[in-house]
Amino acid sequence: MRFRDLVATFGSPGHAWDAVAPSSERETATESASGAIERARCASARLIASGEDAYPARLGELHDPPPVLFAIGALECLREPCVAIVGTRRATSYGERVTFEVAGALARAGVTVISGMARGIDGVAHRAALAAGGRTVAVLGTGVDVAYPVEHRALHAEIADRGLLLSEELPGDRASGGSFPKRNRIIAALATAVIVIEAPHRSGALITATHALELNRIIAAVPGPIDVPQSAGSNLLLRDGAIIIAEVADALALVGATGPVALAGARGEAPSLTDPGQRAVWSALASPACDLDALAARASLPARKCLAAVSALELAGAIECALTGEIRRRGGMARASTP
């Protein structure tokens, strides 16, 4: 806000800076800025200042748009339509499964998936978009060159290579208490619509939804069990008028997408199944499974490995996951022999 007021008073950031009398504070600021620019250069990050052509126009709708953004990756990922998918860090298997299904469908339909690269729903949304060969943008609460949480280093690197990383924090900056709520306004502003999947009371996802409401963005949510804390906030959004995502088609309809773009090689044939986990899941789906937990038990796989196998088979067009939780082989394939 102070930056905006100074620019309004002096006409430009440069004129405002020139009006500052020489002082030790000015020298310290100059050194800090020079250091940030050098760290950005070392990280192959681009600096985008407010007012430049590359600066996302939608951020101008914020009452406190970031004066500067740092970006690693392809700015083309910001082309519309963009849908933000946000939710709890402590996602249930249901939440992860629905997120993968919805984010993957949006990505295949040519929609950019935006999230915050946090644990849980955010991370699954990014991975689903990447697995579908689509576009994804991660808005970070750390410096753009800092992977947080640390277990997302590989995801951070993959998004940098195939998507877009954005942050208003200085390169090298670590996480702080206020940086994550602050970045949520950027997620909301960049998106055409915000989908909340599993958000407890007083969660960051609800902060994003609040910003989206202030910006007149579309707000949608996936319903969850009323006795599960992770669904309390998202269910309240639905009670208060958010659009319900009862099936994947509802998510596509938010931005006028008529259907997913078919993946290359997804022709409905059974996959070769050289991966042991995928072989186990395919064999276990001789009859449909009611949910991921039941399938994991049937296939004798840990839940995470089962989810990975299910995701790969779904992307190959071999199986489908309904939002009711049922997982099944696609039509005409249930009678195929297991390789």
Tens-digit pLDDT string for the chain (339 aa): 888 888 889 998 889 989 888 899 889 999 999 999 999 999 999 999 988 999 999 999 999 999 999 999 999 999 999 999 999 999 998 999 999 999 999 999 999 999 999 999 999 999 999 998 999 999 999 999 999 999 999 999 999 999 999 999 999 999 887 888 899 999 999 999 999 999 999 899 999 999 999 999 999 999 999 999 999 999 999 999 999 999 999 999 999 986 644 333 333 444 567 788 888 999 899 888 888 888 999 999 998 888 888 877 876 668 877 767 788 887 543 333 333
Q: What is the pLDDT of residue 98?
A: 93
Are the C-beta atoms of 313 and 329 separated by less than 8 Å? no
Burial of residue 7, with CB atoms counted within 10 A of its CB: 0-12 exposed, 13-18 middle, 19 or more buried: middle
Are the C-beta atoms of 139 and 159 separated by less than 8 Å? no
Q: What is the pLDDT of residue 328?
A: 85
Distance CA 37, CA 32 (A): 9
Distance CA 86, CA 81 (A): 16
**Torsion angle of the four alpha carbons 15, 5, 176, 180, in this order, in degrees rounded to the nearest 10:** -120
Beta bridge partners of 175: none
**Cα dist. 219→154, 213, 243, 245 in Å?**
30, 7, 6, 10
**Residue type at 193 in one-letter notation:** A
Distance CA 227, CA 312 (A): 31
Q: What is the pLDDT of residue 309?
A: 86
Task: Tell me: cis bond preceding 149? Omega within 30 of 0 counts.
Answer: yes
Burial of residue 303, with CB atoms counted within 10 A of its CB: 0-12 exposed, 13-18 middle, 19 or more buried: middle
pTM score, whole prediction: 0.78
Multiple choice CATH, 276-329, 1.10.3470, 1.10.287, 1.10.10, 3.30.70: 1.10.10
What angle is formed at CA 214 by the lines to CA 140 and CA 244, rounded to 5 degrees? 85
Domain extent listing, the chain: 78-138+151-164+175-253, 276-329
Q: Give every CB contact of residue 65 below 8 A, 6+ residues apart in sequence.
A: 4, 50, 59, 189
E strand or H helix that includes residue 48:
strand 46-49
Distance CA 88, CA 230 (A): 7
Tell me how many helices (H) and strands (E) the chain has.
Answer: 13, 11
Instruction: Using the Cα atoms of residue 332, residue 333, residue 335 and residue 337 in order, give the sign of their dihedral.
Output: positive
Q: What is the pLDDT of residue 339?
A: 38
**Torsion angle of the four alpha carbons 225, 228, 230, 236, in this order, in degrees rounded to the nearest 10:** 60
CATH class of 78-138+151-164+175-253: alpha beta
- What does the DSSP 8-state code read for residue 173? P
Distance CA 146, CA 7 (A): 30
**Torsion angle of the four alpha carbons 84, 43, 155, 222, in this order, in degrees rounded to the nearest 10:** -10
End-to-end Cα, the chain, rounded Å: 62
Phi, psi of 221 (to 5 degrees): -150, 155
Q: Rg for the chain (alpha carbons), in Å?
A: 22
